[in-house]
Structure 1
Amino acid sequence: MKKNRYALLIIALIVGLLASMTFAVMVGSVDITPRIIWELLFTKLGLSLETTVSNPQSIIIWEIRLPRVILAAIVGAALSISGAAIQALVKNSIADPYILGVSSGASVGATSVILLGAFSAIGNYALSFAAFLGAIFAVIIVFLLARVNGRISVVRLLLAGIAISMVFSAITNFMLMMSKQQGGIQAVMHWMLGSLAGAKWSNLGIPFFIFLLVFTLLLLNYRQLNALLLGEETAATLGINLDRFRIFIILFVSLLTGVIVAVSGSIGFVGLIIPHLVRMMVGSNYKVVLPISALIGAIFLVWADMVARIVIAPEEMPIGIITAVCGSPFFIWMLRRRRYSFGDGE
């Protein structure tokens, strides 16, 4: 009975995601109808030969709006499953994907490109490459600091993540303070608050592939994630090599988060609140938590990006502001719920 309920919930969320994405493509200064969107999509996929979609409509949908909406869905899903995995890793309900220093490391990389022109030789890919490089570099330092006698200490992992985040944030702030480029400073601040404005089809391949890879690997290891919630001793008695599994989670979650931050900037609260919401809905079984987190995270960020586009139109609000405005009250409400504790499905 429970399996049927979960299957129906997943189907409903998939339908909700497709409906949300369709509506998000419709929203903008040029009116687009759902029929035009799906007609163009079927034509592009080779499922239909005839189309009444005009060339301007085709450019607006296919080149501008659709890549952005798809990127929002990928980013939301990726941050949500990353948050769920990290929370199981450290068995801490306030952990999120950025706790390993990923966001602050990426910010240093992005700032060095925008203000100092680093990696200018690779052109349009410089920002994404530098942000990813900074993110992975920060994670490596955190990982090395967290190892004690060849083993990873969860407490040291959290403390190292906080310390490295502060160091990298200080470096970013120093570069901003020393810069005389007003436009560059605004670009950095906009990036640090998250933005999907640079979405293009060429930007989607790597994030989508890495997301699928990490999602599949986490789903295949859902029993180990469930065991981590029961405690180290219980997990060890079940035959799980804790150190090897922690390294596995750190590496792949950091890879996914680094790639996502590189294309979207730092978008907070998604990886923190979505797994909480899912656990309150369906419990703590990661076989269910992971797919539902991915779908709800995707829907949430599609709507957040839509609000970011229209709330101060024709200007665009950084999406990180929207997620913070939505996430903070939810997090405060959750903390006030006396019955809720990490791992409960209430």
Structure 2
Amino acid sequence: MHRRALPFPPVERTGASDRRAKVRLLIVGIVLTIILAIISLFIGVSDVSLATLLSSSPQDRPMQVLVMSRIPRTLAILLAGSSLAIAGLVMQIIVRNRFVEPSTAGTTESATLGFLVVTLLAPGWPLMAKMLVSAVFALGGTALFLRILRFVPLREVLLVPLVGIMLGGVIGAITSFFAYRFNLLPSLLAWNMGDFSSVLRGRYELLWFGLAGTIMAYIAADRFTVAGMGQDFTTNLGLNYKRVMTLGLIIVSIVSAVVLVSVGSIPFLGLIVPNVVSLMVGDNMRRTVPWVAVLGATFVLLCDIVGRLIRFPYEIPISVVVGVVGSALFLYLLLRKRHNA
């Protein structure tokens, strides 16, 4: 008995199997993040271990350190890492350049200037109000960056971050001048130095706004992907290009402001993580947002653990560790881009 020939060839299932493999890899990343978060809870000068926690009451020092310091610090690391990585992804799609993120577009420097202004003019304002003012300045600085790009012949892809670094340098110089004039240089240094050692319960909750920005980015992921194709293409599909761009700028500005106000500046994070995810998953933002969030949180968490262990019991600020690792990865991406070109 002969087998009847199929009316069409069998469907290749490599795409489905590849998606399943990527989902499994994402689950592995989430599990790794959870393991690192648990490890982070038990690293520090104070004796906080599973044995001391089980043998102590809620009023004893180990439990108080865990609840007041270790858990808020770990949550702050996860929220800051994931939200900053997503902000970098959104900015790269808006600008259509892989080497742009808040610290290479003048956004972080503008947020710092706004925080300095509100500290000088209204020092008694609550932290939420200072964050909003900082976000407004960050939005204005990012919009100025995009405006300058319209008048620059961008024949080289590296000219875009170069313009952003120059703009950030000018804004940073203005900020440093006024900080020096009003004896706030130590405060300015503290704002620019990313550090999780001072995070306590009641001083990190603004970072939940970063999670809200991450959720907004995921909801509008398809719109951002279309907007990354250009204004004409976006308009032809019936989307309001300016509205999508404004939403992206708002997300980037709020995330940059809340991270700066809460823990300081963390360089290169929004540049490195989206590029690494793009090499593994592709450029579809709907698929890459979970990857970027997980990898950003994992990367910052790992760098924070390394910074706490290298000179234990002393601690290296997270901005230093991320800056060293991020700069090396940035050079690798630059050299890889030129080699492929």
Q: Give the TM-score range, shorter chain.
A: 0.7 to 0.9
The 8 Å contact of residues 106 and 132 in structure 1, kept in 2 or not, is answered as no
Mapping of residues 79-94 of structure 1, within 5 Å: 79-94=84-99
Mapping of residues 149-160 of structure 1, within 5 Å: none
| Structure 1 residue 171 corresponds to structure 2 residue 174 | yes
Alpha-carbon spacing, 1:54–1:303, altered in 2? closer, same or farther (3 Å): farther
Q: Secondary structure of the residue that 1:201 maps to in structure 2?
A: coil
The 8 Å contact of residues 305 and 319 in structure 1, kept in 2 or not, is answered as yes
**Residue equivalent to 1:225:** 224
**Residue equivalent to 1:204:** 204
**2:189 partner letter:** M
**Residue equivalent to 1:188:** 188
Q: Cα offset for 1:175?
A: 3.4
The 8 Å contact of residues 77 and 297 in structure 2, kept in 1 or not, is answered as yes
**2:95 partner letter:** V
Q: Distance in 1 between matches of 2:31 and 2:283?
A: 24
Alpha-carbon spacing, 1:188–1:91, altered in 2? closer, same or farther (3 Å): same
Q: Distance in 2 between matches of 1:219 and 1:13?
A: 19
**1:30 partner letter:** S
**Residue equivalent to 2:26:** 10
**2:218 partner letter:** L
| Structure 1 residue 96 corresponds to structure 2 residue 95 | no
Q: Distance in 2 between matches of 1:135 and 1:163?
A: 21
- Over the aligned positions, Cα root-mean-square deviation in angstroms equals 3.4
Q: Cα offset for 1:190?
A: 3.4
The 8 Å contact of residues 91 and 228 in structure 1, kept in 2 or not, is answered as no
Alpha-carbon spacing, 1:309–1:186, altered in 2? closer, same or farther (3 Å): farther
Structure 1: runs of 5+ lacking an equivalent: 40-49
**Residue equivalent to 2:10:** none
Q: Distance in 1 between matches of 2:207 and 2:339?
A: 33
Q: Secondary structure of the residue that 2:172 maps to in structure 1?
A: helix
**Paired residue for 2:42, among 26, 31, 34?**
26
Mapping of residues 243-322 of structure 1, within 5 Å: 243-322=242-321
Q: Distance in 2 between matches of 1:298 and 1:193?
A: 19
Q: Deviations over 1:211-231 (max 9, x none)?
A: 332222221222222223434
Q: Distance in 2 between matches of 1:260 and 1:204?
A: 9
Q: Cα offset for 1:160?
A: 8.5
Q: Distance in 2 between matches of 1:261 and 1:6?
A: 33
**1:300 partner letter:** F
The 8 Å contact of residues 219 and 290 in structure 1, kept in 2 or not, is answered as yes
The 8 Å contact of residues 13 and 295 in structure 1, kept in 2 or not, is answered as yes
Q: Cα offset for 1:242?
A: 1.4
Q: Distance in 2 between matches of 1:111 and 1:4?
A: 48
Alpha-carbon spacing, 1:146–1:274, altered in 2? closer, same or farther (3 Å): closer
**Residue equivalent to 1:237:** 236
Q: Cα offset for 1:335?
A: 1.6
Bigger mean CA deviation after superposition, 233-242 or 58-67: 233-242
Q: Deviations over 1:324-345 (max 9, x none)?
A: 1101111111122258879xxx
The 8 Å contact of residues 85 and 225 in structure 1, kept in 2 or not, is answered as yes
User: What TM-score, normalized to structure 2?
Assistant: 0.80
The 8 Å contact of residues 6 and 288 in structure 1, kept in 2 or not, is answered as no
Q: Distance in 1 between matches of 2:287 and 2:51?
A: 33
**Residue equivalent to 1:43:** none
The 8 Å contact of residues 13 and 296 in structure 1, kept in 2 or not, is answered as yes
The 8 Å contact of residues 131 and 262 in structure 1, kept in 2 or not, is answered as yes
Alpha-carbon spacing, 1:133–1:30, altered in 2? closer, same or farther (3 Å): same
Q: Cα offset for 1:144?
A: 6.4
Q: Deviations over 1:286-311 (max 9, x none)?
A: 11211110011001111222223333
Over alpha carbons, which structure has the higher Rg?
Answer: 2
Question: What is the aligned residue count?
Answer: 319
Q: Distance in 1 between matches of 2:113 and 2:106?
A: 11
Q: Secondary structure of the residue that 1:200 maps to in structure 2?
A: coil
**Paired residue for 1:73, among 54, 73, 78?**
78
**2:124 partner letter:** A
Q: Distance in 1 between matches of 2:27 and 2:66?
A: 26
Q: Deviations over 1:232-278 (max 9, x none)?
A: 44333322221121111111221222112111111101001000011
| Structure 1 residue 58 corresponds to structure 2 residue 63 | yes
Q: Distance in 1 between matches of 2:180 and 2:259?
A: 27
Alpha-carbon spacing, 1:237–1:110, altered in 2? closer, same or farther (3 Å): closer
**2:139 partner letter:** V
**1:2 partner letter:** D
